[in-house]
Amino acid sequence: MHDNTDSRILIDGYGRRIDYLRISLTDKCNLRCAYCMPAEGVGLMSHSDILSLEETVRLAGIMTEMGIRRIRLTGGEPLVRKGVVSLVEKLGALPAQPELAMTTNGVFLAEKLEELTACGMRSFNISLDTLDRECFHKLTGTDALTKVLDSIDKALEAGCEVKLNCVPLKGINDRELPALLAYAGEREIPLRFIELMPIGCGSRLEGMSREEVLEALGADLIRHPEQSAEDRIPRLASLARNDNRECHPERSAEDRIPRLASLARNDNRECHPERSAEDRIPRLASLARNDNRECHPERSERSERSRGIFPSGPSRYLRFNGADIGFISPLSHSFCGSCNRIRLTADGQLKLCLCYPDGPDLKKLLREGAADCEIEEEIRKAILKKPERHCFTTAGKAAEDRRMFEIGG
């Protein structure tokens, strides 16, 4: 068990540094996304149950002095919370000066963008599961796609950091993924595919793993058999021609990525005659991740930012068809070992892991008159008990039974 004594560093019981706080401002949302909220709506928290803006700022202030350096505002939909601009201004004025970001469905972003950026909020993750108006309506229960796209364009025009979040769902938007990839590539926006979490409404749908998403994206290219293997897998060509050349200028393209020669010659057919050519190219993701990691260990968060990628969490990126695509795959590719986040729910619970219901009620402490030092002590005790990993893939384990909009996405 690790000690947690440095007043400006939060370390959990497994040695992970905790520096990222997600704050849910409300359980309300103007959309009814199929994987998050039932179409008929739900009973919402009363106003008195939710942290006031002043209480939220106070807790954020305590935790930033303890070592939290990034704060992301979520919901529900954070932009439906009254006073959100004032809250952003106050968070930006905290002495510790945390990095601020927001996850939003984008419907109201365009109309609030000028005020938000004036307060220092310039980083937005915008949900976009489809570019098809009918599919969007089916997924969200509203006809607001044009508003979302307008918000994306305005945020980019304002020079904001923008990332797109897509939850790929089998039988719903899986055919839309190539169009989203092209859209992101044209605008040079990172596109992240988020694996469906089996919580609430999401437990009734079927999500897609990273490998399945790559297959869906590659399927659009398979229809062009006249193209070479490098043309069909652009990132592979880039790796062969450019990135590894920096480390191994003396090697030919095939020598720099030996698998390329094998793929081109179909040598794997001898071992796996039942597989198609495209089935024999499932190594794309690992080539993108591993070869570049070996050649460019110095590529830090700062260098990724200079390339238009703004990492503040578990997403792993690769270049595909001109776009940076990321994968957040907590089920098929768990990142629990490097988890650096905690959540503050709209009703004041400190959640240590998305999977478990455990965590202290900070709202109760606030309203019972606890001093900042007492609240800090409770937070430190809780952090030391942060679970080693989630339990979503463990049969029979008791997990969180609240829905994502109640917890904070």
Q: Record the tokens describing residue 328, joined without a space.
A: 């957040």
Q: Is 15 left (phi over 0), alpha (psi -120 to 50) or beta?
A: left
C-beta neighbour count of 240 within 10 angstroms:
25
Amino acid at 408: G
Note whether 117 and 160 are within 8 A (CB).
yes
290 Cβ neighbours under 8 A, 6+ residues apart: none
Domain(s) of CATH 3.20.20.70: residues in the chain: 20-209+329-407
Rounded to whole angstroms, the Cα distance separating 382 from 343 reads: 12
Structure tokens at 262: 């094998």
Nearest to 337 by CA among 393, 293, 386, 388: 388
Helices 177-187/210-222 angle, 10° precision: 90
Helix axes 145-157, 133-140, angle to 10 degrees: 100
CATH hierarchy code of domain 20-209+329-407: 3.20.20.70
Q: What is the full per-residue pLDDT of the chain (409 aa) written as tens digits?
A: 555 555 689 999 999 999 999 999 998 888 887 877 666 666 678 889 999 999 999 999 999 999 999 999 998 899 999 999 999 999 999 999 999 999 999 999 999 999 999 999 999 999 999 999 999 999 999 999 999 999 999 999 999 999 999 999 999 999 999 999 999 999 999 999 998 877 656 567 788 988 899 899 884 444 333 444 334 344 433 333 333 333 344 444 444 333 333 333 333 333 344 444 334 333 333 333 333 333 333 333 433 443 444 444 556 678 877 788 999 876 666 667 788 999 999 999 999 987 777 899 999 999 999 999 999 999 999 999 998 875 665 544 545 555 554 555 5
Distance CA(227)–CA(214), nearest Å, equals: 18
Q: Using CA atoms, how far apart are residues 383 and 4, in angstroms rounded to an integer?
A: 9
Task: Give strand ranges (E) for 321-406.
Answer: 323-328, 341-344, 350-351
What DSSP string describes 138-181? HHHSS--HHHHHHHHHHHHHTT-EEEEEE--BTTTTGGGHHHHH
